[in-house]
Amino acid sequence: MKLDLLREMNRERAARRAVILVTDTAEGGSQRLVREAEAGSDPLAAELMARFRSGKSGIVEAEGRSLFLTVQVPPPRLVVVGAVHISQALAPMAQATDLDVTIIDPRTAFATPERFPGVALLPLWPDDALAQLPPLDRYTAVAALTHDLKIDDPALVAALRAECFYVGALGSRKTHGRRVERLTAAGLSEEQIGRIAAPIGLDIGAVSPAEIAVSVLAQVIASLRQDRRRAPA
């Protein structure tokens, strides 16, 4: 690989931007880098978009040539809004599945290292906290768990506009109905709001905070793997 391409891939990785290195496998074959934002206009658009969704590298045949696609996508992460009991159980389980976890909560009495050892904490309001993180993207899951609309709603709006792969919110169906009204008033479309998993988590009859955390993490993983189950070989 040329040094300039390697440097560019490293820059894109640091910025959490997905890229694919296209390598002609013929002797002395050429290489080029395709960013996800550019893939739709590429001659290999369909294959590239499928690979971005799957995260899998592999060989494809195109125009009589054999090409190897090296896929580099950002590591999945989970942004949890609310330093609550569910979050205390959720954070270590999510870390065990290799999700990068960040907890956001402006209530400094809750967002403490003692309650969340080894977890990245931002004791700030969501707008301020998200400004300090790499931008939300479709490799990010967001779980809003505070039951406080002043904290949850800004994070949900940001997550939906960023097309995060998972967006979930705690609360009853009645609570979610009022949430839908607020998000509609904030300018979000019916399709966008329809992406929210609410009530949050898979329906496993969870009762305790730990059980709810299990249901949330299972739903996050199911959303993460959805495209990969249909991935190209």
pLDDT tens digits, residue range 117-127?
Answer: 999 999 999 99
Whole-number pLDDT of residue 15: 86
Instruction: Supply the pLDDT for residue 54.
Output: 83
Once rounded to an integer, what is the mean pLDDT over residues 166-188?
95
Residue type, 198: A
* Residue 227 banded pLDDT, cuts 50, 70, 90: low
Q: What is the pLDDT of residues 8-57, one digit of tens each?
A: 999 988 888 899 999 998 877 789 999 988 888 898 999 999 898 888 89
Which is nearest to 179 in space by CA: 163, 162, 200, 165?
Answer: 200
Task: Determine the pLDDT at residue 232.
Answer: 52
Structural domains in the chain, CATH included, are: 3-72 (no CATH), 77-225 (3.40.50.720)
CA 11 to chain centre: 19
* pLDDT at residue number 228: 57
The pLDDT of residue 101? 97
* Six token digits for residue 211: 């059980």
**Structure confidence by residue, pLDDT tens digits, 189-208:** 999 999 999 999 999 999 99
Predicted local confidence at residue 28, as pLDDT: 74
pLDDT at residue 153 is higher than 90: yes
Partners of residue 32 on adjacent β-strands: 22
* Residue % of the chain over a pLDDT of 70: 96
Interatomic CA distance for residues 228 and 231, integer angstroms? 5
